[in-house]
Amino acid sequence: MAGSAACDLWSGKAGKSGERKGGEDCSVGHRFSPLLELQKLDLRMMEIQEARRKIPERLRAAEVPLREAVKQLQNAKVAVEAATKERRSHERDLEAHEAHMERMKAHAAHLKTNKEYQAHLFELDLANKKRGELEEKILLCMERIDQLQRVVIEAQARVAALEESFAREQRALAEEEQTLAAELTQVEMLHQEVATRVEPGLLQRYNQIKASCKERPLAAVRGGLCLGCRLQIPPQLVAQVKRSEELLVCPYCHRILYWEGELQAEGSDAPARTSSSSGCEIKGAR
């Protein structure tokens, strides 16, 4: 196929062989410029979408310390309630025991023998020891309650600080979401505008490659490697890509290949290629 005819094929405006319509530039670099720009926009859109997808995850992660602090506060309060109930239980036991001791003392007036009196004294001694044990339990409960109440106060302060920190992070993420959404809208509009500057056939090929789960439909050639799949490509293909006389694809990953320096060369004052050397037909596509 003649060079200009190949260009017209991809532009969707096939005409007579060797004819250029409106002096259109059929150079490969000229066609790669909007295509590379399109790929950059596609990548940026994916970055924005990924960043927006991660915002809820980041919000949940930021809430983890707060949830843990709230749980610790709840546990401390439950411990205070349990210790308070235990103290009250011991206080009721002590109250009942002291009432029992009063009845025992009142019974002493009715004792008649020394043996009965000695037994009574022994029972009183045991009762006094039990009362001491109950009072000791009450004191231990009161000490534990004081300690737990201090823990509750510290936990409340920690929860308040974390709530404030989480609220700031929540506001920051909400602002970031709005910024990303606005940028995505702008990038999508620019993407649509750039897509109109890409030849229909080339755009179709680009979209086909992108649809096959490849983030980068275009791949640079460097050091004899396709930077898309990182595989060594034949030297002859490298030379063809470097000459930029036709659009070629990687034989392994089927990405459209380009030489990294070709766009800079396009902007130089090099003489225009003739129609016979500016063919834009994609070679090697499957």
Distance CA 76, CA 73 (A): 5
| Boundary-marking domain end, from 160, 194, 228 | 194
Q: What value does the CA radius of gyration of the chain take, rounded to a whole number of Å?
A: 43
Instruction: Identify whether residues 108 and 185 lie together within a single domain.
Output: yes
**How many domains are there within the chain?**
2
Distance CA 38, CA 203 (A): 10
Q: What is the mean predicted confidence (pLDDT) over 28-51?
A: 87
Q: Is the pLDDT of residue 241 over 60?
A: yes
Q: What is the mean predicted confidence (pLDDT) over 91-120?
A: 86
In Å, how far are 104, 113, 121, 124 from 110, measured between CA atoms?
A: 11, 10, 14, 15
Give the CB-side neighbour count of residue 107, counting CA atoms within 13 A. 13
Domain extent at residue 18? 3-51+196-283
The pLDDT score that the predictor gives to residue 143 is: 95
Tell me the pLDDT of the chain averaged across its residues.
82
The pLDDT score that the predictor gives to residue 16 is: 34
The pLDDT score that the predictor gives to residue 139 is: 95
Split at pLDDT 50, 70, 90, the class of 6 is: very low
Instruction: Identify whether residues 210 and 233 lie together within a single domain.
Output: yes
Q: What is the mean predicted confidence (pLDDT) over 31-47?
A: 90
Instruction: Identify whether residues 229 and 278 lie together within a single domain.
Output: yes
Residue whose pair of structure tokens reads 């308040």 in the numeric block: 160
The pLDDT score that the predictor gives to residue 119 is: 86
Angle of CA points 55, 57, 60, to nearest 5°: 110
Sign of CA dihedral 209, 214, 218, 220: negative
The DSSP element (H or E) to which 102 belongs, if any, is helix 28-107
Residue 7: count of CB within 10 angstroms of its CB: 28
Instruction: Identify whether residues 236 and 171 lie together within a single domain.
Output: no
Tokens of 66: 């707060």
Instruction: Identify whether residues 222 and 168 lie together within a single domain.
Output: no
Split at pLDDT 50, 70, 90, the class of 27 is: low
Instruction: Identify whether residues 174 and 212 lie together within a single domain.
Output: no
For 107-152, the pLDDT digits (tens) are: 877 878 888 888 888 888 998 999 999 999 999 999 999 999 999 9
Q: What is the mean predicted confidence (pLDDT) over 2-28?
A: 39
Q: Are 29 and 263 in contact (CB under 8 A)?
A: yes
Q: Is 258 helix (H, G, I), strand (E, B) or coil?
A: strand
| Boundary-marking domain end, from 172, 194, 216 | 194
The pLDDT score that the predictor gives to residue 51 is: 96
Angle of CA points 263, 267, 273, to nearest 5°: 90
Split at pLDDT 50, 70, 90, the class of 261 is: low
Instruction: Identify whether residues 36 and 139 lie together within a single domain.
Output: no
pTM, two decimal places: 0.63
Q: Is the pLDDT of residue 162 over 90?
A: yes
For 177-215, the pLDDT digits (tens) are: 999 999 999 999 999 999 999 888 889 888 988 888 667
Instruction: Identify whether residues 102 and 151 lie together within a single domain.
Output: yes
Q: Is the pLDDT of residue 280 over 60?
A: no
Residue partners of 1: CB distance under 8 A and separation at least 6? 9, 279, 281
Q: Name the residue type at position 262.
A: E
Instruction: Identify whether residues 26 and 85 lie together within a single domain.
Output: no
Angle of CA points 111, 116, 117, to nearest 5°: 75
* 38-47, 122-131, 269-278: segment of lowest average pLDDT: 269-278
Tokens of 151: 């823990």
| Boundary-marking domain end, from 148, 165, 194 | 194
> What's the CATH number where 173 sits?
1.10.287.1490
Instruction: Identify whether residues 208 and 101 lie together within a single domain.
Output: no
Instruction: Identify whether residues 109 and 225 lie together within a single domain.
Output: no
Instruction: Identify whether residues 23 and 144 lie together within a single domain.
Output: no
Split at pLDDT 50, 70, 90, the class of 105 is: confident
The pLDDT score that the predictor gives to residue 66 is: 97
